Amino acid sequence: MTQDELKALVGHAALAHVVRGAVIGVGTGSTVNHFIDALGTIKAQLAGAVSSSDKSTERLRAHGIRVLDAAEVERIPVYVDGADEIDPRGHMIKGGGAALTREKIVADLAERFVCIADASKRVDVLGRFALPVEVIPMAVAQLTRRFARQYGGDARVRAGVRTDNGLPILDVHGLRITDPVAMEAEVNQWPGVVTVGIFARHKAALCLLGTAQGVQTLTFPAQPAAAR
Amino acid (1-letter code) at residue 207: C
**Which of 8, 14, 31, 38 touches ligand 5RP (CB under 6 A)?**
31
DSSP state string for 68-111: E-GGG-S-EEEEEE--SEE-TTS-EE--TTS-HHHHHHHHHHEE
By annotation, the residues acting in catalysis are 103
Residue among 197, 190, 198, 189 at smallest CA distance from 145: 190
168 near ligand 5RP, judged by CB under 6 A: no
Tell me the three state secondary structure of residue 227.
helix
84 near ligand 5RP, judged by CB under 6 A: yes
Using the minimum distance from each CB to ligand 5RP, give the nearer residue, 109 or 148. Answer: 109
Interaxial angle between packed helices 3-13 and 30-39, expressed in degrees from 0 to 180 and rounded to the nearest 10: 40
- Residues contacting residue 79 through CB under 8 Å, at least 6 positions apart: 24, 25, 26, 27, 106, 107, 109, 110, 112, 113, 114
99 near ligand 5RP, judged by CB under 6 A: yes
Answer left, alpha or beta for residue 98, where phi above 0 means left and psi between -120 and 50 means alpha: left
Q: Least distance (Å) from ligand 5RP to the CB of residue 21?
A: 26
Using the minimum distance from each CB to ligand 5RP, give the nearer residue, 121 or 146. Answer: 121
28 near ligand 5RP, judged by CB under 6 A: yes
**Which of 14, 76, 79, 97 touches ligand 5RP (CB under 6 A)?**
97
Per CB under 6 A, the segment of 25-33, 59-67, 140-148, 205-213 that binds ligand 5RP is: 25-33
**Which of 6, 100, 175, 177 touches ligand 5RP (CB under 6 A)?**
100
Total residues binding ligand 5RP (CB under 6 A): 17
Distance in angstroms (rounded) separating the CA atoms of residues 79 and 111: 8
126 near ligand 5RP, judged by CB under 6 A: no
Using the minimum distance from each CB to ligand 5RP, give the nearer residue, 47 or 119. Answer: 119
Using the minimum distance from each CB to ligand 5RP, give the nearer residue, 26 or 191. Answer: 26
Per the CB < 8 A criterion, the answer to whether 169 and 193 are in contact is no
Residues near ligand 5RP (CB under 6 A) are: 27-31, 81-84, 94-100, 103
